[in-house]
Amino acid sequence: METFLGIDYPTLWFLVVGLLFSGYAILEGFDYGAGAWHLFFKKDLSRRIAINAIGPIWDANQVWLIIGGGALFAGFPVMYATMLSAMYVPFMLFLMFLVLRSTSIKFRSSEEMPWWRKTWDIIYFISNVAIAFLLGVVLGNVLQGFEIGPNYSYQGGIFFSFLSPYAIMTGFTTLSIFMTQGAIFLLLKTEGRLHARLTFLLKKGMIFFIVSFSITSLYTLIFIPGVTDNFKSNPVSFLLPIFSFLAVANIPRLVSKKKYFQALVFSSLTMAFLLMLVAFQLYPVLLPSTIHSDYSVTVYNAASSQNSLGNMLMIVVIGTPLLAGYFIFLYRTFNGKVKLDDTSY
Protein backbone atom coordinates (compact mmCIF):
# COMPACT_ATOMS: atom_id res chain seq x y z
CA MET A 1 0.00 0.00 0.00
CA GLU A 2 1.30 3.41 -0.91
CA THR A 3 2.03 5.84 1.87
CA PHE A 4 2.76 9.49 2.34
CA LEU A 5 4.85 10.56 5.36
CA GLY A 6 4.39 7.01 6.62
CA ILE A 7 0.59 7.23 6.58
CA ASP A 8 -1.34 5.02 4.16
CA TYR A 9 -3.70 6.70 1.70
CA PRO A 10 -7.02 5.58 3.22
CA THR A 11 -5.95 6.90 6.63
CA LEU A 12 -4.76 10.11 5.04
CA TRP A 13 -8.11 10.47 3.30
CA PHE A 14 -9.85 9.77 6.60
CA LEU A 15 -7.97 12.79 7.99
CA VAL A 16 -8.95 14.91 4.99
CA VAL A 17 -12.63 14.03 5.33
CA GLY A 18 -12.41 14.66 9.08
CA LEU A 19 -10.85 18.04 8.45
CA LEU A 20 -13.56 18.97 5.94
CA PHE A 21 -16.35 17.95 8.29
CA SER A 22 -14.69 19.91 11.12
CA GLY A 23 -14.61 22.95 8.84
CA TYR A 24 -18.26 22.37 8.05
CA ALA A 25 -19.20 22.01 11.71
CA ILE A 26 -17.29 25.14 12.73
CA LEU A 27 -18.49 27.43 9.93
CA GLU A 28 -22.03 26.20 9.41
CA GLY A 29 -22.11 25.64 13.17
CA PHE A 30 -22.37 29.36 13.74
CA ASP A 31 -24.74 29.77 10.77
CA TYR A 32 -27.17 27.10 11.97
CA GLY A 33 -26.56 28.14 15.58
CA ALA A 34 -27.41 31.77 14.87
CA GLY A 35 -30.60 30.58 13.17
CA ALA A 36 -31.50 28.36 16.12
CA TRP A 37 -31.76 31.53 18.26
CA HIS A 38 -33.92 33.28 15.70
CA LEU A 39 -37.23 33.28 17.57
CA PHE A 40 -35.48 34.39 20.76
CA PHE A 41 -35.09 37.81 19.15
CA LYS A 42 -38.35 39.70 19.40
CA LYS A 43 -38.06 42.65 17.04
CA ASP A 44 -38.20 42.35 13.27
CA LEU A 45 -35.08 44.49 12.91
CA SER A 46 -33.09 42.26 15.29
CA ARG A 47 -34.09 39.25 13.24
CA ARG A 48 -33.04 40.98 10.04
CA ILE A 49 -29.67 41.85 11.53
CA ALA A 50 -29.19 38.29 12.71
CA ILE A 51 -29.85 36.99 9.20
CA ASN A 52 -27.60 39.57 7.60
CA ALA A 53 -24.81 38.70 10.03
CA ILE A 54 -24.45 35.47 8.08
CA GLY A 55 -25.83 37.00 4.86
CA PRO A 56 -22.71 37.32 2.73
CA ILE A 57 -20.94 34.21 4.06
CA TRP A 58 -23.42 31.38 4.56
CA ASP A 59 -23.35 30.36 0.90
CA ALA A 60 -19.57 30.08 1.11
CA ASN A 61 -19.71 28.18 4.40
CA GLN A 62 -22.04 25.70 2.77
CA VAL A 63 -19.22 24.82 0.38
CA TRP A 64 -17.73 22.73 3.18
CA LEU A 65 -20.78 20.48 3.16
CA ILE A 66 -20.55 20.06 -0.61
CA ILE A 67 -16.83 19.32 -0.51
CA GLY A 68 -17.16 17.08 2.54
CA GLY A 69 -19.94 15.12 0.87
CA GLY A 70 -17.95 14.91 -2.36
CA ALA A 71 -14.82 13.81 -0.49
CA LEU A 72 -16.75 11.09 1.31
CA PHE A 73 -18.28 9.89 -1.98
CA ALA A 74 -14.93 9.96 -3.74
CA GLY A 75 -12.74 8.54 -0.99
CA PHE A 76 -15.09 6.15 0.77
CA PRO A 77 -17.90 5.36 -1.68
CA VAL A 78 -18.98 2.35 0.38
CA MET A 79 -19.40 4.54 3.47
CA TYR A 80 -21.22 7.23 1.50
CA ALA A 81 -23.62 4.74 -0.09
CA THR A 82 -24.25 2.63 2.99
CA MET A 83 -24.76 5.49 5.40
CA LEU A 84 -27.03 7.53 3.15
CA SER A 85 -29.24 4.65 2.06
CA ALA A 86 -29.52 3.27 5.60
CA MET A 87 -30.26 6.71 7.05
CA TYR A 88 -32.68 7.52 4.24
CA VAL A 89 -35.35 9.29 6.28
CA PRO A 90 -33.08 11.51 8.42
CA PHE A 91 -31.05 12.54 5.37
CA MET A 92 -34.15 13.36 3.34
CA LEU A 93 -35.43 15.46 6.24
CA PHE A 94 -32.01 17.10 6.53
CA LEU A 95 -32.05 17.99 2.83
CA MET A 96 -35.61 19.29 3.04
CA PHE A 97 -34.71 21.58 5.93
CA LEU A 98 -31.60 22.75 4.09
CA VAL A 99 -33.78 23.85 1.18
CA LEU A 100 -36.31 25.50 3.47
CA ARG A 101 -33.54 27.27 5.34
CA SER A 102 -31.95 28.79 2.25
CA THR A 103 -35.38 29.69 0.91
CA SER A 104 -36.31 31.52 4.10
CA ILE A 105 -33.05 33.49 4.08
CA LYS A 106 -33.68 34.58 0.50
CA PHE A 107 -37.36 35.41 0.77
CA ARG A 108 -37.98 36.44 4.39
CA SER A 109 -37.23 40.13 3.98
CA SER A 110 -38.44 40.44 0.39
CA GLU A 111 -41.94 41.44 1.54
CA GLU A 112 -43.04 43.83 4.26
CA MET A 113 -46.20 42.05 5.42
CA PRO A 114 -45.80 40.94 9.07
CA TRP A 115 -47.49 37.57 8.42
CA TRP A 116 -45.03 36.87 5.60
CA ARG A 117 -41.99 37.65 7.73
CA LYS A 118 -43.30 35.81 10.78
CA THR A 119 -44.06 32.70 8.74
CA TRP A 120 -40.57 32.65 7.26
CA ASP A 121 -39.07 33.37 10.71
CA ILE A 122 -40.75 30.26 12.06
CA ILE A 123 -39.69 28.14 9.08
CA TYR A 124 -36.15 29.48 9.37
CA PHE A 125 -35.96 28.76 13.09
CA ILE A 126 -37.37 25.23 12.79
CA SER A 127 -35.08 24.42 9.85
CA ASN A 128 -31.94 25.48 11.70
CA VAL A 129 -32.87 23.59 14.85
CA ALA A 130 -33.80 20.51 12.83
CA ILE A 131 -30.63 20.57 10.74
CA ALA A 132 -28.38 20.82 13.81
CA PHE A 133 -30.37 18.14 15.61
CA LEU A 134 -30.42 15.74 12.63
CA LEU A 135 -26.66 16.07 12.10
CA GLY A 136 -26.19 15.05 15.72
CA VAL A 137 -28.67 12.21 15.34
CA VAL A 138 -26.77 10.81 12.36
CA LEU A 139 -23.51 11.10 14.30
CA GLY A 140 -25.11 9.26 17.23
CA ASN A 141 -26.27 6.49 14.92
CA VAL A 142 -22.80 6.13 13.44
CA LEU A 143 -21.26 5.86 16.92
CA GLN A 144 -23.82 3.29 17.99
CA GLY A 145 -23.40 1.31 14.80
CA PHE A 146 -25.86 0.12 12.18
CA GLU A 147 -27.36 -3.31 11.63
CA ILE A 148 -25.15 -4.05 8.66
CA GLY A 149 -25.07 -7.57 7.24
CA PRO A 150 -23.06 -9.16 4.44
CA ASN A 151 -22.36 -6.99 1.36
CA TYR A 152 -22.98 -3.82 3.40
CA SER A 153 -26.73 -4.49 3.39
CA TYR A 154 -28.64 -2.53 5.98
CA GLN A 155 -31.05 -4.72 7.92
CA GLY A 156 -32.35 -2.28 10.48
CA GLY A 157 -35.65 -0.47 10.82
CA ILE A 158 -36.89 1.80 8.08
CA PHE A 159 -38.76 4.83 9.33
CA PHE A 160 -38.13 5.85 12.92
CA SER A 161 -35.40 3.54 14.17
CA PHE A 162 -32.87 6.34 13.73
CA LEU A 163 -34.41 8.09 16.73
CA SER A 164 -32.77 5.97 19.43
CA PRO A 165 -32.40 7.56 22.87
CA TYR A 166 -28.67 7.86 22.35
CA ALA A 167 -29.09 9.50 18.95
CA ILE A 168 -31.55 11.97 20.46
CA MET A 169 -28.94 12.88 23.07
CA THR A 170 -26.19 13.41 20.52
CA GLY A 171 -28.74 15.43 18.55
CA PHE A 172 -29.31 17.77 21.47
CA THR A 173 -25.58 17.99 22.16
CA THR A 174 -24.91 19.04 18.58
CA LEU A 175 -27.72 21.56 18.69
CA SER A 176 -26.40 23.01 21.94
CA ILE A 177 -22.84 23.39 20.74
CA PHE A 178 -24.03 24.99 17.50
CA MET A 179 -26.17 27.39 19.52
CA THR A 180 -23.19 28.32 21.66
CA GLN A 181 -21.10 28.86 18.55
CA GLY A 182 -23.93 30.86 16.91
CA ALA A 183 -24.44 33.13 19.90
CA ILE A 184 -20.73 33.95 20.08
CA PHE A 185 -20.66 34.68 16.35
CA LEU A 186 -23.64 37.02 16.67
CA LEU A 187 -21.98 38.78 19.62
CA LEU A 188 -19.08 39.45 17.30
CA LYS A 189 -21.34 40.89 14.60
CA THR A 190 -23.88 42.95 16.57
CA GLU A 191 -24.11 45.92 18.89
CA GLY A 192 -26.64 47.65 21.14
CA ARG A 193 -29.70 45.95 22.63
CA LEU A 194 -29.46 42.84 20.47
CA HIS A 195 -25.89 42.43 21.66
CA ALA A 196 -26.92 42.69 25.31
CA ARG A 197 -29.66 40.14 24.76
CA LEU A 198 -27.17 37.74 23.17
CA THR A 199 -24.84 37.97 26.17
CA PHE A 200 -27.74 36.73 28.26
CA LEU A 201 -28.71 34.02 25.73
CA LEU A 202 -25.16 32.73 25.42
CA LYS A 203 -25.14 31.82 29.13
CA LYS A 204 -28.29 29.74 28.62
CA GLY A 205 -26.70 28.15 25.58
CA MET A 206 -23.60 27.15 27.47
CA ILE A 207 -25.61 25.60 30.28
CA PHE A 208 -27.65 23.70 27.67
CA PHE A 209 -24.40 22.49 26.13
CA ILE A 210 -22.72 21.43 29.37
CA VAL A 211 -25.78 19.52 30.54
CA SER A 212 -26.39 17.66 27.28
CA PHE A 213 -22.71 17.00 26.76
CA SER A 214 -22.28 15.51 30.24
CA ILE A 215 -25.30 13.23 29.87
CA THR A 216 -24.19 12.08 26.43
CA SER A 217 -20.65 11.40 27.61
CA LEU A 218 -21.83 9.33 30.56
CA TYR A 219 -24.22 7.41 28.33
CA THR A 220 -21.46 6.76 25.83
CA LEU A 221 -19.08 5.42 28.49
CA ILE A 222 -21.70 3.17 30.06
CA PHE A 223 -23.73 1.89 27.13
CA ILE A 224 -21.64 2.03 23.96
CA PRO A 225 -19.34 -1.01 23.92
CA GLY A 226 -15.76 -0.67 22.82
CA VAL A 227 -15.65 3.08 23.05
CA THR A 228 -12.67 3.15 25.36
CA ASP A 229 -10.67 0.45 23.55
CA ASN A 230 -8.79 2.89 21.38
CA PHE A 231 -8.04 5.04 24.40
CA LYS A 232 -6.62 2.24 26.48
CA SER A 233 -4.20 1.40 23.68
CA ASN A 234 -3.03 4.99 23.45
CA PRO A 235 -3.21 6.89 26.75
CA VAL A 236 -2.06 10.16 25.18
CA SER A 237 -5.52 10.34 23.61
CA PHE A 238 -7.00 11.11 27.03
CA LEU A 239 -5.72 14.60 26.34
CA LEU A 240 -8.51 15.12 23.80
CA PRO A 241 -11.42 15.20 26.27
CA ILE A 242 -9.30 17.28 28.63
CA PHE A 243 -8.52 19.76 25.86
CA SER A 244 -12.15 20.06 24.87
CA PHE A 245 -13.10 20.64 28.50
CA LEU A 246 -10.44 23.35 28.86
CA ALA A 247 -11.57 24.99 25.62
CA VAL A 248 -15.17 25.14 26.85
CA ALA A 249 -14.11 26.53 30.21
CA ASN A 250 -12.24 29.32 28.48
CA ILE A 251 -15.31 30.67 26.65
CA PRO A 252 -17.11 32.53 29.50
CA ARG A 253 -13.83 34.12 30.58
CA LEU A 254 -13.16 35.49 27.09
CA VAL A 255 -16.76 36.63 26.60
CA SER A 256 -16.70 38.57 29.86
CA LYS A 257 -13.54 40.30 28.59
CA LYS A 258 -15.41 41.04 25.33
CA LYS A 259 -12.86 39.05 23.35
CA TYR A 260 -15.50 37.55 21.10
CA PHE A 261 -13.22 36.48 18.30
CA GLN A 262 -11.04 34.50 20.68
CA ALA A 263 -14.16 33.03 22.24
CA LEU A 264 -15.27 31.92 18.77
CA VAL A 265 -11.87 30.32 18.23
CA PHE A 266 -12.20 28.40 21.47
CA SER A 267 -15.72 27.19 20.81
CA SER A 268 -14.52 26.13 17.35
CA LEU A 269 -11.65 24.28 19.01
CA THR A 270 -14.12 22.54 21.28
CA MET A 271 -15.94 21.23 18.23
CA ALA A 272 -12.71 20.21 16.55
CA PHE A 273 -11.53 18.33 19.65
CA LEU A 274 -14.87 16.58 20.01
CA LEU A 275 -14.82 15.50 16.38
CA MET A 276 -11.26 14.26 16.80
CA LEU A 277 -12.51 12.32 19.78
CA VAL A 278 -15.19 10.72 17.63
CA ALA A 279 -12.69 9.97 14.88
CA PHE A 280 -10.32 8.44 17.38
CA GLN A 281 -13.04 6.29 18.90
CA LEU A 282 -14.00 4.93 15.51
CA TYR A 283 -10.76 4.56 13.53
CA PRO A 284 -10.17 2.45 11.50
CA VAL A 285 -13.90 1.72 11.53
CA LEU A 286 -16.19 4.20 9.78
CA LEU A 287 -19.49 2.51 10.43
CA PRO A 288 -19.60 -0.26 13.03
CA SER A 289 -21.89 -3.20 12.32
CA THR A 290 -23.97 -4.24 15.32
CA ILE A 291 -24.48 -7.67 13.73
CA HIS A 292 -20.84 -8.70 13.45
CA SER A 293 -17.63 -6.70 13.42
CA ASP A 294 -16.63 -8.45 10.17
CA TYR A 295 -19.42 -6.54 8.44
CA SER A 296 -18.29 -3.13 9.69
CA VAL A 297 -17.39 -0.51 7.12
CA THR A 298 -13.76 0.50 7.66
CA VAL A 299 -11.44 3.00 6.02
CA TYR A 300 -9.85 0.05 4.21
CA ASN A 301 -12.85 -1.81 2.82
CA ALA A 302 -14.67 1.43 2.02
CA ALA A 303 -11.80 3.23 0.31
CA SER A 304 -11.42 4.01 -3.34
CA SER A 305 -8.38 2.72 -5.24
CA GLN A 306 -4.86 3.89 -4.39
CA ASN A 307 -4.72 5.58 -7.76
CA SER A 308 -7.91 7.53 -7.18
CA LEU A 309 -6.97 8.52 -3.63
CA GLY A 310 -3.60 9.72 -4.94
CA ASN A 311 -5.32 11.89 -7.58
CA MET A 312 -7.72 13.22 -5.01
CA LEU A 313 -4.92 14.14 -2.64
CA MET A 314 -3.38 16.15 -5.46
CA ILE A 315 -6.74 17.88 -6.01
CA VAL A 316 -6.88 18.72 -2.31
CA VAL A 317 -3.30 19.98 -2.25
CA ILE A 318 -4.00 22.31 -5.18
CA GLY A 319 -7.56 23.27 -4.25
CA THR A 320 -7.31 23.96 -0.54
CA PRO A 321 -4.91 26.94 -0.72
CA LEU A 322 -7.12 28.46 -3.43
CA LEU A 323 -10.21 28.00 -1.28
CA ALA A 324 -8.41 29.43 1.75
CA GLY A 325 -7.50 32.48 -0.33
CA TYR A 326 -11.13 33.02 -1.40
CA PHE A 327 -12.28 32.70 2.20
CA ILE A 328 -9.75 35.20 3.52
CA PHE A 329 -10.83 37.68 0.83
CA LEU A 330 -14.53 37.15 1.64
CA TYR A 331 -14.21 37.38 5.42
CA ARG A 332 -11.96 40.43 5.23
CA THR A 333 -14.47 42.17 2.99
CA PHE A 334 -17.27 41.63 5.48
CA ASN A 335 -15.29 42.11 8.67
CA GLY A 336 -16.95 44.11 11.46
CA LYS A 337 -20.48 44.73 12.77
CA VAL A 338 -23.50 44.23 10.55
CA LYS A 339 -24.60 47.36 8.69
CA LEU A 340 -27.86 47.01 6.79
CA ASP A 341 -27.97 48.64 3.36
CA ASP A 342 -29.96 48.35 0.15
CA THR A 343 -28.29 45.08 -0.80
CA SER A 344 -29.08 43.32 2.51
CA TYR A 345 -31.55 40.48 2.85
Partner 1 sequence: MDVEILARIQFAFTIAFHYIYPPLSIGIGLIMVIMEGLYLKTGNKDYEILTRFWLKIFAITFGIGVATGIIMEFEFGTNWAVYSRYVGDIFGSALAAEGLFAFGLESTFLGVLLFGWNRVSPKVHFISAIGVFLGSMFSAVWIVVANSWQQTPAGYHIVGEGFNARAEVTDFWAMVFNPSSVDRIIHVWQGAFLAGAFLVLSVHAYYIRKGRYLEISKKAFKIALVVATIVSFTQLLSGHSSADGVAVNQPAKLAAMEGHYEKHAPADLYLLGWVDNENQKVTGIGLPGGLSFLVHQDFQSPITGLNAFPEEDRPGQVNAVFQFYHIMISIGMFLIALTFYASFLWWKGKLFENKWLMWIFSFSVILPQIANQAGWFAAEIGRQPWIVYGHLRTSQGFSQEVSANQIIFSLVMFTVIYSLLLVLFLYSLNKKIKYGPYDEAKKPLEII
Site for partner 1 in 29-68 (CB under 8 A): 43, 45-46, 49, 55-57, 59-60, 62-63, 65-67
Please say which residue, 233 or 305, places its beta carbon nearer to partner 1.
305
CA distances from 67 to 75, 199, 224, 243, 304 (A): 12, 34, 30, 28, 16
Cβ neighbours of residue 201 under 8 Å, at least 6 residues apart? 37, 40, 183
Please say which residue, 78 or 246, places its beta carbon nearer to partner 1.
78
User: 89 to 148, contacts with partner 1 by CB under 8 A?
Assistant: 89, 91-92, 95-96, 98-100, 102-103, 106-107, 110
98 and 131 in contact (C-beta within 8 Å)? yes
Please say which residue, 199 or 214, places its beta carbon nearer to partner 1.
199
At 268 the three-state DSSP class reads helix
62 and 26 in contact (C-beta within 8 Å)? no
User: Residue 247: phi, psi to the nearest 5?
Assistant: -65, -40
217 counts as binding partner 1 under rule CB under 8 A = no
**Minimum distance, C-beta of residue 194 to partner 1, in the bound complex (Å):** 6
User: 294 to 333, contacts with partner 1 by CB under 8 A?
Assistant: 304-305, 307-308, 311-312, 315-316, 319-320, 322-323, 326-327, 329-330, 333
Please say which residue, 39 or 81, places its beta carbon nearer to partner 1.
81
**Minimum distance, C-beta of residue 112 to partner 1, in the bound complex (Å):** 10
69 counts as binding partner 1 under rule CB under 8 A = yes
CA distances from 145 to 196, 220, 335 (A): 43, 12, 42
**Minimum distance, C-beta of residue 24 to partner 1, in the bound complex (Å):** 11
239 counts as binding partner 1 under rule CB under 8 A = no
**Minimum distance, C-beta of residue 12 to partner 1, in the bound complex (Å):** 15
Please say which residue, 15 or 227, places its beta carbon nearer to partner 1.
15
**Minimum distance, C-beta of residue 234 to partner 1, in the bound complex (Å):** 30
d(CA 342, CA 345): 8
Among 15, 39, 74, 227, binds partner 1 (CB under 8 A): 74
334 counts as binding partner 1 under rule CB under 8 A = yes
d(CA 169, CA 137): 8
CA angle (196 as vertex; 192, 198 as ends), nearest 5:
115
**Minimum distance, C-beta of residue 206 to partner 1, in the bound complex (Å):** 24
Please say which residue, 239 or 340, places its beta carbon nearer to partner 1.
340
Please say which residue, 99 or 215, places its beta carbon nearer to partner 1.
99
User: 264 to 293, contacts with partner 1 by CB under 8 A?
Assistant: none
Helix pair angle (63-75, 77-86), 10° resolution: 110
Nearest to 184 by CA among 203, 208, 210: 203
Among 3, 4, 7, 193, binds partner 1 (CB under 8 A): 193
Amino acid (one-letter) located at 292: H
168 counts as binding partner 1 under rule CB under 8 A = no
* Torsion (CA) 154, 155, 158, 163 in degrees, nearest 10: -90
d(CA 76, CA 301): 9
